[in-house]
Structure 1
Amino acid sequence: MIITIARQCGCGALEVGKLLAARYNIPFYTRKNLMRMAEDNGVLREMHDFFEERPVDELMYAISAFENEEGNDETNHHAMRILADLIGKRDCVIIGRCGNYIFKNRADLVSVFLKGNFEERVRAMAHHDDMSLAEAEEFVRETDDSRVRYHKYYTGLTWGNADDYDICFDSLRLGTEKTARLIERYIKDIGLEE
């Protein structure tokens, strides 16, 4: 089973992912350890841009959008194919990295999108990263905007669109542990839990 978690900034996805990985005793992959895996396999240079979560250059985005319309998205998909090959069929939890798209053909995929009230996410980030509310607000806005562009650039899809995920919900209202339990319940109810 592979669990992919896309998220708005400040929704506690890392904590949820860790709980799920521990619950199912499977690896937990974030950007950092996926980069390490790519480096260990000698493919990090080919995937460098894919691992950067800074805003995609607007000109490159426009070119990509045009190429995607023309059916030529080889550049975008190369890094995603490498990641799919690195993960293979192993069970794991992946945070971000367009996982819902990359692994969409796996029958054992559970794709999740976590969201939350903007002001609550700002407060959570300010508390978690010890920054002012103004700094946290700017950080949350920029991170979400970057993820929108990143996801569109690599997949052609709208980030956060419910049709592209198995389940979408407000993880801040539930809290970390209840969010993980809800995902576990979904996994059990669809028959993926052994």
Structure 2
Amino acid sequence: MNQYVITIGRQFGSGGRSIAEKLAKKLDIKFYDKELISIAAKESGISPEVFEGVDEKATNSLLYSLSMGMYSFGSGFPAMGDLPVNDKLYLLQHKIIKEIAEKENCVIVGRCADYVLRDNPKRVSIFIYADMEFRKEQSIKKHGIDPAHAEHIINKTDKNRANYYSFYSGQKWGQAENFDLCIDSSKLDEDKIVELIAEYIKMR
């Protein structure tokens, strides 16, 4: 399998982003996370800082027309009109993810990429999760989160991600049947998980 786009969904504190970045380096392919915000900002003329504030957060405007495949991007962005900035960012990232998937092998973190590319035969969708104690420990260690508030921050972040995914895809975030491979990151160290995913891709 020499053509693939790996999408990685992740619970907060599971190490999903770090695993995704290491995987991209191992496979010598591009890694996209916050890079998608930079590309969207450049294409739209909207400040990256504005997009940062709404990244992976849903609004209440409910763009099910896009989720159900009824939205047409046309040839430019003016059609977005006065949509909330959250929706503008999603639309831009949706378009960018599809374009990237057509031209290169890569790893994409979050942003409903597994859903956006659901009909693309190159897609390999991964979800990284772990138990709460492991995620608390990792959040405190890697992100410097106050131990007293770690669980609250983890739950709030995951709730935002779940709402975002459900809002734009109409599906449940983290549900096993939406992914090719789900991995508990508390059972193996990151390098072994990278090896596992790389081997899975090779076997495909």
- Kept after mapping to 1: 8 A contact 2:37/2:93: no
Larger % of helix: which?
1
The secondary structure found in structure 2 opposite 1:114 is: strand
What is the TM-score when the length of structure 2 is the normalising length?
0.78
The secondary structure found in structure 1 opposite 2:124 is: strand
Aligned equivalent of 1:37: 39
Alignment match of 2:62 (pick from 52, 61, 64): 64
CA gap of 1:155–1:49, structure 2 versus 1, over 3 A, is farther
Unaligned 5+ segments in structure 1 are none
- Pair 1:26 & 2:42 matched: no
Q: Deviations over 1:53-99 (max 9, x none)?
A: 46534xx1xx528x56xx68648673454223441331110110111
CA gap of 1:51–1:154, structure 2 versus 1, over 3 A, is farther
Give the root-mean-square deviation of aligned CA atoms.
2.8
In 1, Cα distance between equivalents of 2:138 and 2:9: 17
In 2, Cα distance between equivalents of 1:11 and 1:142: 15
Aligned equivalent of 1:148: 162
CA gap of 1:52–1:149, structure 2 versus 1, over 3 A, is same
The secondary structure found in structure 2 opposite 1:38 is: helix
- Kept after mapping to 2: 8 A contact 1:35/1:44: no
Query: What amino acid sits opposite 1:52 in the alignment?
Result: V
In 2, Cα distance between equivalents of 1:91 and 1:51: 28
In 1, Cα distance between equivalents of 2:57 and 2:94: 22
Aligned equivalent of 2:54: 52
In 2, Cα distance between equivalents of 1:122 and 1:143: 13
Count, aligned residues: 182
Unaligned 5+ segments in structure 2 are 72-79, 81-86
Aligned equivalent of 2:127: 113
Of the structure 1 ranges 122-131 and 152-161, higher mean CA displacement relative to structure 2 is found in: 122-131
- Kept after mapping to 2: 8 A contact 1:4/1:96: yes
- Pair 1:185 & 2:188 matched: no
- Pair 1:9 & 2:12 matched: yes
Structure 1 vs Structure 2: percent identity of aligned residues? 29
Q: Deviations over 1:104-138 (max 9, x none)?
A: 12212110001100121011101111222122212
- Kept after mapping to 2: 8 A contact 1:50/1:79: no
In 1, Cα distance between equivalents of 2:167 and 2:70: 10
Query: What amino acid sits opposite 2:169 in the alignment?
Result: T
Query: What amino acid sits opposite 1:100 in the alignment?
Result: D
In 2, Cα distance between equivalents of 1:37 and 1:102: 17
- Kept after mapping to 2: 8 A contact 1:53/1:150: no
CA gap of 1:164–1:50, structure 2 versus 1, over 3 A, is farther
